[in-house]
Structures are given as structure tokens and as C-alpha cells.
């Protein structure tokens, strides 16, 4: 499979701060790739380098086998710091960005109108951008990023600030674009969003790549430390059982997630529970990306740093 | 649909067109830069004369005079001559204005009074005053004979008028009476007042400069003072107005967070080039508008020959140099800050330098070939403003080598300033947070 984005030993520093360290990345064409990490991990800097908005201090960046600059018009980019010309009409704004991306012609306005309907904003083409709500503006910004039918779409925190309804509309379009064969690089610090839609995960922390692979392969790399139990009696007490470190509510009202101690064997603990407490179901849970990431931080930076990251993720 | 790639110039032109369209083709621009000046001109040309005319409703009615017969006769003569103050002013105006058809037409609208002068009895003064109050008479003029005889015991001339009498009408009566008394004095001494007035009227002296090439050039005060200032102001208005637009649109793109969207499609240099090019169009529109208004004014007063074609050509060259100097400064400042108020701290020292031509204008105008004028006309960024002032103010042609050198220095400076601005712009457009100091900008130039 061809490589859409190829980063080799890329580094970038701002003064004393090293934002990206010796980063190597290969993103295949047609993949839906989650680019994850907490705030300040180096995601936006990496993306800006891919877009040739800023230049790497070291290393090589190639997009579709050419320099990033030469491939600019083949990329659709929704930056994290995004905005619109407040006084411009919606149609004019999208048309202007499309023109800058090399798109001209009589059918451009028709294409924009079709897309406005698809993002559920059919009546706004002659409204000034400042007249739109923040969520509507974000959808217009998303449209400006993809209007020129790019082969590679880079979305930096595309759902931030969107209500669930609008997030679903945008999510559905991203899904469709992927189905059409577009390569999508999707950056977020809300890890469970990526877990739901990405088939490939790249995780960075403090400018270093800490994880890279398919979601299944990454989950397989980490020892399961959580058991999901649905007891017959919901008042059952699990905390006193050997090997159980903590208990939290599960995804359903009647289930519980049991975190086991680091040295415990999940299968042995599971057998112990089933033997002592009547259960409707009991299984070893797949670790979530949040848990995997925290685990990774514990390995690389210790538990104190992991606690700080856990707090940040829970607030996201 | 046509899918085009890597059309660098086309992208810059797309940016330029948006910049021009959203600056010059807006209601705010039309109102601020076109309608307002036109309205102000209209105010001067139409409204002021109209207002003046409405004030000058003719004085119609009867005025009683209590004076000797000869004084009464002189007052009657003076009143018939019309508004004497206006007549005196007109006599002092330059030929350029009184000969102009528009000005003459405006001045000719001064209304004619229709006043009947009758003689009154001094013993009935109180009764006449009562009739003035009642509106039967327009006024009563009391001229004691001592004011004519000048016997050292001069009494006051008194004019009694109704409370609602307009200042213009009062002026007609006071001026006519004063002149009448003077004429009566002269006649009593057997002099001819008209002949004496002609004798004491100051003749107009004109200076003619003898140039080294043997030509004789008549000195023209308007050309020497006003036209150079107009040229410099025109350059200022055209370049600084569009420079200000460039500053605000760049800051707007940063504060609206649209900058990164743009940079995903164009390079910083395409964006900078497009923006400067677009605002150059705006500047040219302002220049053409104000410039043509000034030229139309000069042609209307038959003063077109005061601006030779060479001056217009040099003006165009210095305009291009001035625009690029101002535009690069404004774009650099705009890219470095996030809000307009942050720009003020950077613009302060820059404006301090840029107002120097305005401050030293009187000196430059008086000594266009002096040391100060010569040095500043080779000093960027003052160079275009000072040189155009020198070219138009100097009675001796500026040496060709000085003009060529200043244009050369100007072009080199523009190239250097574009280079520095590009380095600041490239870093500045993505910079958020605290605005940089002048020293930090210098650091960006080294780093960029």
C-alpha cells in the first residue's frame, strides 16, 4: 500500500522547548488514523509541519511522495485554531478558500451549495459568517477544509465545541469520506472519540511517539487489568476479594468494572469471583485508549505524571 | 471542474483581489474615502454660498438720517453702491479668484439693497426711535456735525436699529455712514474722495525670478506654498490610508483565527504579496480620486500649468516607493500583533519618524535645496515625501543626479524592507500571545 504521509526523524524546537523529537511516521493511503495525545504533546506542531506551515528543524517530510509544499492542494486541513472572515458571506468564504486551493470554474458554487445541504446548512449561503452560531461556523470551516475534494484530510480536534447532533453530522461525513478512499488523519486529545472511529492509532507524548499501530494490536500489547462483572445481586461487594484494587461503575447500570492489582492474574481473579458471587456475566475487559495511554505514561514517566494525565483526560 | 495546482501567482492574485474587494468595494470605504470628501467639497462649493446667500436677504425699507445735507447726500450715495464691506473685500482679492467664472458667479450673488433714505428732524428723535421699534423705519442714523468738521470735540455717530436687525444689515448702515462721513469731510475741504481713494490704493507687486538659463519665471505664491504641501499630503493620505487597511486586515486575520486556514492553502509569501498588491489597488484608487479632484480644482481656476507633467511622472514614481515602504511596515506590524491596540505600541516610534516631513515642511518649503531637505530626501522612509515636496517647491530645478539617486535609494530600500517584512511576517502570522518589542522584531529578522 502507498504511503500518504512519511515522516523521517523529524524534530522541531521552539526556543528551549522541544515540541517534536525524532518522530518517524508512515501513514498508509486510505487509512483512518487517530493522532492522539494530551494537550501540548506535539500534535498540532507535527500537523503544521506536514502542512508546511512551519518547517522542521531536522528530518524529512513527504506527502504523496513529494515535498509537503508541493502537495499542499491535495490536502484538506481543518486547524485547531480555526476561524472565518466575519464580514464575508458563507458562500463567498468557502469559494475563496476553494479558489486558494486551486479550484475554479462555473460549477464551484453548485458544489458548495450541495455540500451546504449535506452539512445541514442549506439556508446560510448568503448570510454573513458572523451571523452564524459557533457550531454552524465550525461546520462551515469543516466544509472549507474539504470542498476541494482532497486526497488527504487532516482534522485537528474536529469535534471540539460541537454539540452531539452536529458532531454526529460531521462524524458521519468523515466516515463517508473514508469510505470513498480518502486518507484521514484525525487529531484529538479526547481518546475515546478516536477509539470509536479510527482503525489506526498514533499516540505521542511530550514530542515522542509512544504508540503506533492498529487499535486491536495496541490493545493486545497491554495486559488487561480490568474485569467487567454483571452480578445477579447489584449490592454484591467486590472490594474484599483478593486481587481487586478498585471498583467503578460499568457501561451499563447493572455492571461494574473491577481494576485488579498489577501482580494479579486476570484469569485467576475472574475464576475466584465467579466462584464466590453469582453473576450474569463476567469477562476480561479490553483496555480503553485512556487506560492504555495512562499505562504508557506510567511506563515512561512514572505514576505521578500518569496521575496528571489521568486528570487531564477525565476533564477532556 | 478544473483542478489547478501550484499556480503561485494566481494564488497571490486571488488574495489580492479579495483584499481589494473587501476594502475598496465596501460601504465603509465608499462612505469614508469617497462620499465624505465629496460631501465636504460639496459643502464648500454649494452649501456655504447658499448659507451665506440666505443670510444676505436684501435690506428693504426706509432709514431716517439726522445729519447735515451734505452728509445725508453722501450716505444716500454710499447706500446705493450696495454692500460696501463686500466691495472693499472684492477689491483686495487676487485676480485669480475674481477672474474665475465660478467664483465671480458666486460673488455676484450678493443681494442688492433697496433702501430709501429720508431726512428726519433731530427734535423728533424719540418719536422716530419708537417708529423704528414698531417696524415703520428700518433704522435711524444720527450724525453730529462735529464728526465731519473734526473740531476736536468729536461726538459719536449713532445708529438705532430694531432688536432683530441682522449683522449684515447693520454692517451696510455702519459702513455706508462711516464712508459717507469721510467723503463729506474731504468734500468740505474741496477734495475729490474718489481720486484720493485711487491715490492711496496700494498697487500689486509681482516677483519674477531670473533663472540661470536666462528664463524669467513669474513667482506664484499659490504654486510655491500650497501645491508642494498638496503633493506631500496626497502621498501621505493615499499610502497611509491603505497602509492602515493592511494593518487592520492582517490583525483581523490573526484575531479571527483565519490565518492558519489561509496558510494551509498559500505560503506566507503568497499571502503577504497578495495583500500588499491588493492594498496597492486601494491606494491607487484613493490617489486617483483625490488627485483628480485637486487637478480639476486647478484646471477650474486656470492654474493647470502650475503642475508640469514631469512633476506628475515623478509623483507616480515616488508614490510607488512610498506605498511599498509604508505597506511593508504596516504588514510587518500587523503580522506581529494580535489586536489593534497592541499595534499602537509598535506604531508609536514608527509614526514619530514618519511625521518628520510634516514637521519640517515649512523649512523644506522655504529652502527646498537646503542641507536638511537634501539629506532627508535620501533618507528612507522619509525620502519619497521629502523629494516630491522639493521637486514641486523648488524654484530652481532639482539636479537630475539627486532625483536619480533618490529613486535608486528608494528602490533599494523597498527591496530591503520587503525582505525584512517577509521575515517578520513569516514568524509573526503564527505567533500568539504577548506582542513583540521592536528589539524582538529585529531578532525575528535575523532568525527568519
Are A198 and A262 in a shared domain? Answer: no
pLDDT mean over B308-332: 92
Are A44 and A161 in a shared domain? Answer: yes
Are A120 and A233 in a shared domain? Answer: no
Residue B57: predicted pLDDT: 73
Residue A68: predicted pLDDT: 76
pLDDT mean over A58-63: 92
Residue A78 lies in a domain: yes
Q: Which residues of B touch A74 (CB under 8 A)?
A: 5
**Does the domain made of B60-200 have the CATH classification 3.40.190?**
yes
Are A202 and A249 in a shared domain? Answer: no
Q: CA A147, A148, A150 angle in degrees (round to 5)? A: 110
- Chain B contact for A13, CB < 8 A? no
- Mutate which: B15, B21, B257, B260, vs A, most A CBs within 10 A: B260
Are A43 and A79 in a shared domain? Answer: yes
Q: If you average pLDDT over every residue of chain B, what do you get?
A: 83
B220 CB-contact burial (10 Å; exposed 0-12 / middle 13-18 / buried 19+): middle
Residue of chain A nearest B269, judged by CA positions? A53
Q: What percent of chain B has pLDDT over 70?
A: 85
Residue B5: predicted pLDDT: 44
Residue A305 lies in a domain: no
Residue A297 lies in a domain: no
pLDDT digits (tens, 9 = 90+) for A102-146: 888 888 999 999 999 999 998 899 999 999 998 899 999 999 999
- Chain A contact for B264, CB < 8 A? yes
Is residue B108 over pLDDT 60?
no
CATH number where A269 lies: 3.30.70
pLDDT digits (tens, 9 = 90+) for A154-169: 998 888 888 888 888 9
Are A109 and A144 in a shared domain? Answer: yes
CATH number where A41 lies: 3.40.50.300
A48, A88, A104: residue with CB nearest B4: A104
Confidence bin at A27 (pLDDT 50/70/90): very high
Q: What CA–CA distance (Å, rounded) separates B393 from B407? A: 18
Q: What CA–CA distance (Å, rounded) separates A256 from A238? A: 9
Are A53 and A164 in a shared domain? Answer: yes
pLDDT mean over A38-65: 89
Is residue B85 over pLDDT 60?
no
Residue A312 lies in a domain: no
Are A31 and A140 in a shared domain? Answer: yes
* Interface predicted TM-score (ipTM) of this complex, two decimals: 0.79
pLDDT digits (tens, 9 = 90+) for B138-173: 999 999 988 888 665 667 899 999 988 888 888 888
The domain locations on chain B are 60-200, 220-447
Residue A299 lies in a domain: no
Number of domains in chain A: 2
CB within 8 Å: B264 and A88: no
pLDDT digits (tens, 9 = 90+) for A266-315: 888 888 888 888 888 888 777 777 777 777 777 666 666 666 666 666 55
Residue B147: predicted pLDDT: 86
φ and ψ of A205, to 5 deg: -145, 125
- Mutate which: A45, A63, A93, A102, vs B, most B CBs within 10 A: A102
Q: Which residues of A touch B436 (CB under 8 A)?
A: none
Residue A259 lies in a domain: yes
Is residue B3 over pLDDT 50?
no
Residue A180: predicted pLDDT: 93
Are A131 and A24 in a shared domain? Answer: yes
Q: What percent of chain B has pLDDT over 90?
A: 32
- Of the residues A214, A246, A266, which one is the last residue of a structural domain? A214
Q: If you average pLDDT over every residue of chain A, what do you get?
A: 85
Asked if B398 contacts B420 with a C-beta cutoff of 8 angstroms, the reply is no
Residue B1: predicted pLDDT: 43
Alpha-helical (H) ranges within chain A are: 43-50, 90-100, 108-118, 134-146, 164-179, 191-197, 215-221, 266-276, 289-301, 303-315
Residue A53 lies in a domain: yes
pLDDT mean over B225-232: 84
CB within 8 Å: A96 and B7: no
Is residue B100 over pLDDT 60?
no
Are A149 and A279 in a shared domain? Answer: no
- Of the residues A185, A214, A243, which one is the last residue of a structural domain? A214
Q: What percent of chain A has pLDDT over 70?
A: 93
pLDDT mean over B350-366: 88
Look at B154-158, B218-222, B254-258 and tell me which has the smallest mean pLDDT.
B218-222
Confidence bin at A225 (pLDDT 50/70/90): confident
Residue of chain B nearest A75, judged by CA positions? B264
Domain that holds residue A158: 3-214
Is residue B93 over pLDDT 70?
no
Residue A307 lies in a domain: no
Q: Which stretch of DSSP H or E encloses residue A229?
A: strand A226-231
Are A135 and A229 in a shared domain? Answer: no
Residue A144: predicted pLDDT: 94
pLDDT digits (tens, 9 = 90+) for B376-417: 999 998 999 999 998 888 877 888 999 999 999 999 999 999
| Residue bearing cell 468557502 | A94
Q: Which stretch of DSSP H or E encloses residue B118?
A: strand B114-119
Answer with the residue of higher pLDDT: B294 or A34: A34
Are A128 and A191 in a shared domain? Answer: yes
pLDDT mean over B286-294: 85
Is residue B113 over pLDDT 80?
no
Amino acid at each position: 500500500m502507498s504511503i500518504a504521509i512519511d515522516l523521517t526523524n523529524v524534530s522541531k524546537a521552539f526556543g528551549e522547548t522541544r515540541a517534536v523529537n525524532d518522530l518517524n511516521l508512515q501513514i498508509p493511503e486510505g487509512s483512518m488514523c487517530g493522532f492522539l495525545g494530551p494537550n501540548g504533546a506535539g500534535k498540532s506542531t507535527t500537523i503544521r509541519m506536514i502542512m508546511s506551515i512551519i518547517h522542521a528543524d531536522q528530518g524529512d517530510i513527504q506527502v504523496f511522495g513529494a515535498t509537503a509544499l508541493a502537495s499542499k492542494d491535495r490536502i484538506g486541513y481543518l486547524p485547531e485554531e480555526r476561524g472565518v472572515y466575519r464580514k464575508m458571506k458563507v458562500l463567498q468564504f468557502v469559494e475563496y478558500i476553494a479558489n486558494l486551493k486551486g479550484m475554479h470554474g462555473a460549477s464551484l458554487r453548485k458544489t458548495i451549495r450541495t455540500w451546504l445541504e449535506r452539512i445541514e446548512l442549506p439556508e446560510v449561503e448568503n448570510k454573513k459568517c458572523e451571523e452564524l452560531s459557533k457550531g454552524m461556523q465550525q461546520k462551515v470551516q469543516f466544509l472549507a477544509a474539504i470542498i476541494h475534494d482532497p486526497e488527504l484530510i487532516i482534522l485537528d480536534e474536529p469535534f471540539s465545541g460541537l454539540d452531539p447532533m452536529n458532531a454526529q453530522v460531521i462524524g458521519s461525513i468523515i466516515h463517508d469520506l473514508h469510505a470513498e478512499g480518502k486518507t484521514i488523519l484525525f487529531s484529538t486529545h479526547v481518546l475515546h472519540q478516536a477509539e470509536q472511529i479510527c482503525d489506526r492509532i498514533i499516540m505521542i507524548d511530550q514530542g515522542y511517539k509512544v504508540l503506533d499501530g492498529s487499535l486491536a494490536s495496541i490493545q493486545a500489547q497491554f495486559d488487561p487489568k480490568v474485569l467487567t462483572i454483571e452480578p445477579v445481586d447489584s449490592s454484591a461487594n467486590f472490594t474484599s476479594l483478593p486481587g481487586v484494587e478498585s471498583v467503578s461503575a460499568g457501561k451499563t447500570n447493572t455492571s461494574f468494572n473491577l481494576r485488579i492489582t498489577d501482580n494479579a492474574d486476570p484469569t485467576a481473579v475472574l475464576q475466584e469471583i465467579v466462584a464466590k458471587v453469582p453473576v450474569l456475566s463476567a469477562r476480561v475487559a479490553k483496555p480503553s485508549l485512556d487506560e492504555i495511554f495512562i499505562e504508557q505514561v506510567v511506563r515512561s514517566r512514572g505514576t505521578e505524571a500518569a496521575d496528571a494525565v489521568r486528570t487531564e483526560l477525565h476533564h477532556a | 471542474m478544473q483542478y489547478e495546482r501550484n499556480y503561485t501567482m494566481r494564488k497571490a492574485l486571488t488574495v489580492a483581489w479579495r483584499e481589494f474587494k473587501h476594502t475598496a468595494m465596501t460601504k465603509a470605504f465608499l462612505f469614508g474615502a469617497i462620499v465624505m470628501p465629496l460631501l465636504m467639497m460639496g459643502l464648500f462649493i454649494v452649501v456655504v454660498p447658499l448659507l451665506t446667500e440666505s443670510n444676505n436677504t436684501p435690506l428693504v425699507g426706509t432709514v431716517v438720517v439726522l445729519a447735515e445735507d451734505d452728509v445725508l447726500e453722501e450716505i444716500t450715495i454710499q447706500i446705493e453702491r450696495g454692500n460696501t464691506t463686500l466691495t472693499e473685500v472684492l477689491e483686495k482679492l487676487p485676480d485669480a479668484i475674481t477672474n474665475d467664472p465660478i467664483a465671480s458667479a458666486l460673488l455676484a450673488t450678493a443681494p442688492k439693497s433697496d433702501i430709501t433714505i429720508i431726512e428726519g428732524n433731530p427734535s423728533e428723535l424719540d418719536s422716530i426711535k419708537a417708529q423704528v421699534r414698531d417696524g415703520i423705519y428700518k433704522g435711524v442714523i444720527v450724525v453730529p456735525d462735529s464728526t465731519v468738521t473734526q473740531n476736536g470735540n468729536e461726538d459719536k455717530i449713532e445708529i438705532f436699529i430694531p432688536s432683530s436687525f441682522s449683522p449684515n444689515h447693520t454692517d451696510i448702515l455702519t459702513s455706508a455712514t462711516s464712508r459717507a462721513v469721510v467723503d463729506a469731510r474731504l468734500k468740505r475741504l474741496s477734495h475729490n474722495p474718489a481720486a484720493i481713494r485711487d491715490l492711496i490704493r496700494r498697487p500689486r507687486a509681482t516677483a519674477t525670478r531670473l533663472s540661470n538659463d536666462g528664463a524669467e519665471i513669474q513667482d506664484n505664491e499659490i504654486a510655491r506654498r500650497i501645491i508642494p504641501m498638496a503633493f506631500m499630503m496626497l502621498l501621505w493620505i493615499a499610502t497611509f490610508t491603505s497602509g492602515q487597511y493592511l494593518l487592520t486586515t492582517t490583525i483581523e486575520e490573526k484575531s479571527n483565527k483565519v490565518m492558519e486556514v489561509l496558510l494551509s492553502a498559500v505560503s506566507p509569501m503568497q499571502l503577504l504579496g497578495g495583500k500588499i498588491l491588493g492594498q496597492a489597488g486601494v491606494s491607487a484608487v484613493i490617489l486617483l480620486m483625490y488627485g483628480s479632484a485637486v487637478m480639476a480644482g486647478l484646471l477650474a481656476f486656470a492654474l493647470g500649468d502650475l503642475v508640469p507633467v514631469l512633476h506628475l511622472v515623478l509623483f507616480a514614481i515616488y508614490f510607488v516607493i512610498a506605498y511599498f515602504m509604508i505597506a511593508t511596515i504596516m504588514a510587518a506590524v500587523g503580522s506581529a500583533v494580535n489586536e489593534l491596540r497592541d499595534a499602537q505600541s509598535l506604531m508609536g516610534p514608527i509614526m514619530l519618524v514618519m511625521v518628520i516631513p510634516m514637521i519640517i515642511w515649512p523649512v523644506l518649503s522655504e529652502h527646498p535645496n537646503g542641507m536638511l531637505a537634501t539629506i532627508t530626501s535620501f533618507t528612507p522612509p522619509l525620502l519619497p515625501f521629502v523629494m516630491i515636496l522639493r521637486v514641486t517647491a523648488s524654484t530652481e530645478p532639482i539636479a537630475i543626479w539627486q532625483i536619480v539617486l533618490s529613486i535608486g535609494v528608494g528602490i533599494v530600500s523597498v527591496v530591503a524592507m520587503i525582505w525584512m517584512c517577509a521575515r517578520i511576517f513569516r514568524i509573526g502570522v503564527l505567533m500568539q500571545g504577548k506582542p513583540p518589542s521592536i528589539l524582538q522584531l529585529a531578532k525575528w529578522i535575523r532568525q527568519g
